[in-house]
Amino acid sequence: MSRVTWALMFVGIALVILLVVWQGADRIGETLGRAGWGLCWLGLLYIPPLLLLSRSWSILFPLGGRPGFKSIIVATWIGNAINWMLPVAQIGGDFAKAIWLSRRGYHGPTVGAATLVDKTLQATAQVFVSLIGAGLFVQQIGNTDWIFRILVFCILLLISLYFFFRLQKGGLVTRLTGIILRMGKGREFLNLAGGARQLDDCVREIYSNYSNLGWSLIGRVVARLMISGEVLLALYLMGYPVSLAEAVLIETLGQTVKAASFMVPGSYGVQEGGFILIGALLGLPTGLALALALAKRTREWMVGIPALGYWYWNENRLAFQDR
């Protein structure tokens, strides 16, 4: 993780603090206080999407080399926490979850290939989620000013995904070995994956199973929509209930903002600003929209901090055993 990445993270956190000061820390605290300990339910509410995300990754593995579902859940939990909370451009967690499984004896090339394909499907699912958000925006607001921007984002993402898919089918890892080795965990990832050529062969094998790809993609889209329950519950607890359609709209557009700001670690500041903008379009008070964004941050911390602690403890334990 470079100094620039850390600097961006601290700038984002500073922006969050400035937004809270701008809206009044007392008012934001009062809004969050109305929800109280009820916000703890957001952590439990994330369990079903986590299970579905884990299953969506799991079915990409060939049956003969599929890790146990418990191991997949733990790896997904850790990977998500790293992407949420560390300056890794929302990709370091995917390397980490592949390394986690490989170090525990699962077939390296298969794990690495399933992780690369899964990352492609994550981005593809985001396209569908963004389009759902755009459709709901037109239905709820009747304003098409932002639709063009969302469609441009989706088209650019689809074009990028198409070329990324073609590169994977054509031996992406073999061609980009030098670049991968220069990335933070790239060398270890490649070594544990069994080498570039084996990894490429496994990627092609996974892409040949269209049924598993389809179900994995559907699972990821549904899991992302399920997270809308956090918006529904948080706003209800804060005394501002919204409809299911409005909750899905807020969540899907919020995810779109987060995806577009992937270079900002944790999307700190950007995510909060995005919720304020989305809330303004829907007529939500600015302070309430910011409190909602902070409530979602609270869920990330509740789920992510134990995951990082468990990951750190286990990595140190393995390192000690290897000595």
List per-residue pLDDT tens for the chain, 323 residues long.
567 777 777 887 888 888 888 888 888 989 899 988 999 999 999 999 999 999 999 999 988 878 999 999 999 999 999 999 887 767 888 888 988 998 888 877 888 889 989 988 998 898 899 888 888 888 877 666 667 777 777 787 777 776 666 666 655 555 544 444 444 445 555 554 455 677 778 888 898 899 999 999 999 999 999 999 999 999 999 999 999 999 999 999 899 888 877 777 778 888 898 899 888 888 899 999 999 999 999 999 999 999 999 998 888 877 666 66
CB–CB of 19/273 below 8 Å? yes
Among 30, 106, 94, 16, smallest CA distance to 69 is for 106
Query: What's the CA angle centered on 321, arms 319 and 323, to 5 degrees?
Result: 75
- The domain containing residue 155 runs over which residues? 3-322
Domain count, the chain: 1
* Helices and strands in the chain, H and E counts: 17, 0
Question: What CA–CA distances, in Å, run from 246 to 150, 288, 299?
Answer: 17, 15, 20
CA–CA distance from 65 to each of 102, 220, 311 (Å)? 12, 21, 23
Q: What is the DSSP letter of 144?
A: -
Could you give the CA distance from residue 64 to residue 225 in angstroms, rounded to a whole number? 31
Distance between CA 82 and CA 94 in Å, rounded? 9
Residue 168 and residue 116 in contact, taking contact as beta carbons nearer than 8 Å: yes
Q: Is the dihedral of CA 71, 72, 76, 82 positive or negative?
A: positive
Q: How many residues are given for the chain?
A: 323
Instruction: Mention every residue, 6+ apart, whose C-beta is less than 8 A from residue 315.
Output: none
